């Protein structure tokens, strides 16, 4: 009797997969038999997990995978990509709408993810410690080259000139700020609220002899003051939250040079408004949100009359970046297990794999939005300069 109920639960779960060929297998070897060769076998280890999967699939899958109560035999990324394509956003239960991130909650949210230890991130990021989407001039480029190319691409889009003052909001471990100062002769004030990252970036600036031209500030974007010719934010907007886009817009409008100020926002976005997968929202990026362009632009640009010059969607570059990260992560899985534990390794494996799948399937986007003052007469005629041989020798 019990096994007939299990089989019924299993068939319910199977019908939810909407034709994606997956073999589902229970603790008692009850299993489905997909008509086409399955991408993977998903083993459910106990009845409680099976029931949770039926009730809240997206959240329960992540939690059970982390806990080892669900095991995937086969290609995890391919499986998640196929599920994304088949289900779209239908797998995501609506998440409760988050409150605005206060200065304190913003710091807590960032601490959870970015203060896991620089030694951990060093194991699987590129040598410059860039934890955002790279730019592959060619899909065969190395991750190191692609991250350098991204940093340079951002500088080109910003049309940096020697002597420019740059503000970098959400600077990570400082790679972009240092790159700009080193290769474009600018001075940078770079802001971040991750203590671990700011400490690392400080030390790096001193070690590289750039401490007089790059200042790392442990502070929230809302506290940014001063003036700049260029404002850049790579991978921070996801943590700002929609209710604070106008606050970000006011900061940009306040600091940006009135005549020739330019800016660039680089962020994970969506084609249509949607919350993050609830497991990601609870366990990986608390307080984060990936917006559509039309959610960002009114507050950040339109309210202050700043002009959108260029928008580029680099989602395929993020899928490939994540593929590199996941491969490096797997190569160091034993080290990471020693630093943390089994559950941590599984959690981060699933996070990186699901992110790769989401960018590959077009579920997530990566937008670079370049903007400037509305009447900037120095705007170049065409984009040709973005696609010519590097102007400086560093690359």
Cα separation of 186 and 121, whole Å?
28
Cβ proximity to a second copy: between 110 and 237 the closer is: 237
Give the x-and-dash track for 128-157 against a second copy (CB under 8 A).
-------xxxxx------------------
Q: Does 308 bind a second copy (CB under 8 A)?
A: yes
Among positions 74, 117, 163, 305, the unique one binding a second copy when judged by CB under 8 A = 305
Quote the CA–CA distance of 269 and 113 in Å, as a whole number: 19
**Whole-angstrom Cα distance, residue 372 to residue 257?**
10
Among 102, 212, 342, 387, binds a second copy (CB under 8 A): 387
Q: What's 251-274 look like in SS3?
A: HHHHHECCCCCEEEEEEEECCCCC
Binding status of residue 386 toward a second copy by CB under 8 A: yes
Q: How many residues does the chain have?
A: 395
Please, what's the b/e burial string for 57-67 (b: 16 or more CB within 10 A of its CB; e: otherwise)? Answer: bbbbbbbbbbe
- Residue 294 in contact with a second copy, rule: CB under 8 A: yes
Q: Which is nearer to a second copy, 29 or 138 (CB)?
A: 138
**Of the two residues 69 and 156, which places its CB atom closer to a second copy in the complex?**
156
- How many angstroms separate the CA atoms of 329 and 337, rounded? 11
Q: What is the footprint of a second copy within residues 330-369 (CB under 8 A)?
A: 361-363, 365, 367
Instruction: Pick one of 5, 112, 375, 390: the residue that binds a second copy (CB under 8 A).
Output: 375
For a second copy, the closer of residues 210 and 300 by Cβ is 300
- Sheet (strand 70-74) strand order: 22-26, 40-44, 70-74
Closest approach of a second copy to the CB of residue 313, in Å:
5
Q: Please identify, using beta-carbon distances, which residue of 24 and 256 lies nearer to a second copy.
A: 256
**Among residues 303, 330, 337, 344, which is the contact residue for a second copy, using CB under 8 A?**
303
Smallest gap from residue 113 Cβ to a second copy (A): 27
Complex with a second copy: residue 68 or 298, whichever CB lies closer = 298
Nearer to a second copy, 11 or 142 (CB): 142
Residue of the chain from 317, 324, 346, 349 that contacts a second copy (CB under 8 A): 317
Q: Which of 46/144 has CB closer to a second copy?
A: 144
Q: Which of 80, 252, 301, 357 binds a second copy (CB under 8 A)?
A: 301
Distances (CA, A) of 269 to 26, 74, 266: 36, 29, 9
Which residues are near a second copy by CB under 8 A? 85, 88, 135-139, 271-273, 292-294, 297-298, 301-303, 305-313, 315-317, 361-363, 365, 367, 373-376, 379, 381-384, 386-387
């Amino acid at each position: 009797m019990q096994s007939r109920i299990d089989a019924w639960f299993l068939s319910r779960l199977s019908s939810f997969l909407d034709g994606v060929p997956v073999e589902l297998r229970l603790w008692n070897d009850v299993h489905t038999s997909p008509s086409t060769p399955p991408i993977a076998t998903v083993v459910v280890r106990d009845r409680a997990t099976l029931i949770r999967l039926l009730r809240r699939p997206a959240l329960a899958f992540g939690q059970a995978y982390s806990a080892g109560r669900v095991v995937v035999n086969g290609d995890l990324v391919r499986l998640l990509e196929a599920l994304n394509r088949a289900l779209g956003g239908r797998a995501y239960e609506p998440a409760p709408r988050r409150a605005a991130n206060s200065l304190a909650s913003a710091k807590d949210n960032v601490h959870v993810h970015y203060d896991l230890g620089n030694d951990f991130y060093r194991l699987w990021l590129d040598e410059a410690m860039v934890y955002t989407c790279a730019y592959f001039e060619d899909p065969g480029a190395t991750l190191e080259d692609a991250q350098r190319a991204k940093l340079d691409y951002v500088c080109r889009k910003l049309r940096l000139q020697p002597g420019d003052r740059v503000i970098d909001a959400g600077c990570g471990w400082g790679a972009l700020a240092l790159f700009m100062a080193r290769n474009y002769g600018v001075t940078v004030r770079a802001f971040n609220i991750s203590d671990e990252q700011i400490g690392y970036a400080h030390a790096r600036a001193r070690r590289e002899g750039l401490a007089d031209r790059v200042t790392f500030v442990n502070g929230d974007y809302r506290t940014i003051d001063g003036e700049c010719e260029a404002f850049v934010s790579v991978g921070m907007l996801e943590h700002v939250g929609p209710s604070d886009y106008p606050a970000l817009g006011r900061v940009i409008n306040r600091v940006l040079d009135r005549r020739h100020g330019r800016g660039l926002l680089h962020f994970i976005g969506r084609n249509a408004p949607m919350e993050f997968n609830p497991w990601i929202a609870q366990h990986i990026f608390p307080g984060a949100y990936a917006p559509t362009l039309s959610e960002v632009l009114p507050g950040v640009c339109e309210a202050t009359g700043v002009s959108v010059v260029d928008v580029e969607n680099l989602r395929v570059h993020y899928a490939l970046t994540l593929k590199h990260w996941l491969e490096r992560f797997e190569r160091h899985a034993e080290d990471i297990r020693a630093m943390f534990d089994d559950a941590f390794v599984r959690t981060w494996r699933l996070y990186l794999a699901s992110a790769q799948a989401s960018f590959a399937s077009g579920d997530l986007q990566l937008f670079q939005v370049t903007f400037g003052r509305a009447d900037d007469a120095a705007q170049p005629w065409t984009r040709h300069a973005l696609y010519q041989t590097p102007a400086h020798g560093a690359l």
